[in-house]
Structure 1
Amino acid sequence: MAVDILPVAHDARRPAWKRIGTMREAGLIAIILSLCVIMSFASPHFLTLGNFRAMLMSFSVEGIVVVGMTILLIVGGIDLSVGSVVCFSMVLSGSLFLMGVDPWTASLVGIAASAAIGCIMGFFVTVVGLNHFITSLAAMVIVRGLCLVITKGTPLSLFTLPPAFKAVGQGTFFGVPYVIVIFIAVVAVFDFLLRRATAFRKVFYTGSNEKAALYSGIKTKDVKFWVTVLCTTLSGVAGTIYMARFGAATPTFGVGMELNIIAAAVIGGASLNGGSGTILGAILGIALLSVVTSSLILLDVSVYWQDMIKGCILLAAVSIDHMLHKRKAA
């Protein structure tokens, strides 16, 4: 039985550039390029350095969260709490800083607390036996409540953050924003691990056929637990970067972020049924959503219509994923 799931992991181990011509990523690249060409005629402000920089900065931080979500979807889980955890990391770190704690230490505490949330969620999934959807839904509400409790519903002004810390979110490295450098590093590391590391191949095995993986000697509960922790930890990292970038922590930040994150991962090929997905595809998915959002803003489309359009894109992506799985099962 274990043999049936080996091709998935084997395909994931192939370098991204070898998969571009034959997989979903090629279609996403074509769509993104087509949108860019269309928008270059529709708006004179689209093909500008400032607009592209804004898009890169926007999806780079969300892209860090997408990496964690993609790996969690591959194992067969989902996390609806990522937006709340990003906010919680910001709020907790910001509050500690205002209490006199060094911002670097405060950030580490925020990331560790985010990982702890993942541990609690992982416990309820693997020990109690709840599914990821219900567990993360509850966590989303609870963690958002914690954000409001910590701040008392008032945004935290963190303009006194030291320049060295602000540089993480606002500075550049040879002209390239640190945010983008961190994003590229995270993507490169986890793309490599997902393709080459034995521990991460178990993620595919578990998501493809959990019973077969269990019979093969894989501790599937451990895999699901640590992937859940990884997702919330990366969300915590994104939260501290946002704090450095904006110099503030708002208790309502990240509301609805899970929609973008899940949509990007699914558009990029990650299956809601588990067992498939790539980091490259997910990043192209978040890039596509970023281009769409930028285009709608430049075309002066109402923010209410923007949310509806993103929802339709997510519905289309999930429908395509469902039909592909039905075709494979037939």
Structure 2
Amino acid sequence: MLADTLGTKAVRPRSWKRIGSMREAGLIAIILALCVAMSFASPHFLTLGNFRAMLMSFSVEGVVVVGMTILLIVGGIDLSVGSVVCFAMVLSGSLFLAGLDPWSASLTGILASALIGCVMGFFVTVVGLNHFITSLAGMVIVRGLCLIITKGTPLSLFTLPPAFKAVGQGSFHGVPYVIIIFVAVVGIFDFLLRRATALRKVFYTGSNEKAALYSGIRTNHVKFWVTVLCSTLAGVAGVIYMSRFGAATPTFGVGMELNIIAAAVIGGASLNGGSGTILGAILGMALLSVVTSSLVLLNVSVYWQDMIKGCILLAAVSVDHFLNKRKPS
């Protein structure tokens, strides 16, 4: 019986890989088609400045997408990532203004973000709440903490030292450090998710938690640490944003979770758990970035932009639902 269970699990990752490759190829084709269409619609689209702006806009959010994708694969979801990004910013910024050096302040902000993940992971794995309700409560609580820390007033951090500002504003041979960090995070976790034996437990847990448990996988430990990872990466993104903008606003990141979840789902991460890739999620983020840039260049109202993004998310979830209905049990 155990051998049959493990045998079934050994086959499924290969089928997910084929489906993931199809989704990724489709996304690349859509992105290229949009780029070609926009090259005729606007002379400003195919410019180095526009592509640099698009890369910068989604590179930091892309760090958060990595954590969200892995969490979706395990069968969870985190609605608090926007609030945690803001929390890392305002806590690190407040500690810096209080006299702590920016590196230590940033490390404290990231560790505090990880602690938030630990608390949410505790309520999910020990208390038994689901990720949706837990992260919804976390979103509200953490946003409240941001307002308490700042008293509702944005923090000006223009006195940050140049070496720290370089993380968000500097470049190496013309390539912004933000993009280098983004590529490094994506490359590391994409490789681990595809190749590391330990991370296969994420797929097994998300696909069939009971079967994974019977196979000897400590599923609660997997869910706990993936929840912590998602919050930690959100904290890293918050510190990068602080360095990039030289400020910390208590309302920053409101609605960010929509873009993050949309990108992961468009890229093939299933809301039912068990499937998804980092590369697919990043392509989903790239698609949203291209759509946003296109709408701006075409002078489409910001109100319509949100509606269009919502429609794209609805279409992606519909495709995910259709694929899950056809997936063999």
Query: Structures share a fold, TM > 0.5?
Result: yes
* SS of the residue 1:218 aligns to: coil
Identity %: 85
Letter of the 2:288 partner, please give it.
L
Partner of 1:214: 213
**1:29 correspondence with 2:4:** no
Q: What is the letter of the counterpart of residue 79 of structure 2? A: L
Q: Distance in 2 between matches of 1:92 and 1:302?
A: 34
Secondary structure of the structure 2 residue equivalent to 1:271:
coil
Report if the CA contact (8 A) 1:20-1:26 is conserved: no
Alignment of 1:8 onto 2:7: no
Runs of 4+ in 1 over 6 A off after TM superposition: none
For this pair of structures, how many residues does the alignment match?
325
SS across alignment from 1:26: helix
**Alpha-carbon distance between aligned partners in 1 of 2:88 and 2:181, rounded to the nearest angstrom:** 17
What stretches of structure 2 of length at least 5 have no aligned partner?
A: none
Does the CA contact (< 8 Å) of 2:20 and 2:276 recur in 1?
A: no
- Other structure's SS at 1:23 match: helix
- Paired residue type of 1:292: V
Shift of 1:198: 1.8
Per-residue deviation at 1:313?
A: 0.7
Cα displacement (A) at 1:4: 2.1
1:250 aligns with 2:231: no
**What is the CA-CA distance between 1:183 and the residue it aligns to?**
0.4
Tell whether 2:302 aligns with 1:303. Answer: yes
- Aligned ranges 1:82-97 → 2 under 5 Å: 82-97=81-96
1:80 maps to: 79
Aligned Cα root-mean-square deviation (Å): 1.4
Output the CA distance in 1 between the equivalents of 2:153 and 2:264.
Answer: 32
Which residue of structure 1 lines up, in the alignment, with residue 68 of structure 2?
69
Note the C-alpha offset of 1:44: 1.1
Q: Report 1:91-170 matches (<5 A).
A: 91-170=90-169
Partners of 1:70 and 1:265 within 8 A in 2: yes
- What TM-score does the superposition give when structure 1 sets the normalisation length? 0.96
Q: Which residue of 2 aligns with 1:239?
A: 238
Q: Tell me the TM-score normalized by structure 2.
A: 0.96
Q: Deviations over 1:44-74 (max 9, x none)?
A: 1111111111100111101000000000000
1:86, distance to aligned residue in structure 2 (A) = 0.3
CA contact (8 A) 1:9 1:195 kept: no
Alignment check: 8 A CA contact 1:5 1:209 kept: no
The answer to whether the aligner puts 1:197 opposite 2:201 as a matched pair is: no
Amino acid at match of 1:134: I
Equivalent-residue separation in structure 1 for 2:14 and 2:216 (angstroms): 19
Once residues 198 and 182 of structure 2 are traced to their aligned partners in structure 1, the CA distance between those partners, rounded to angstroms, is 22
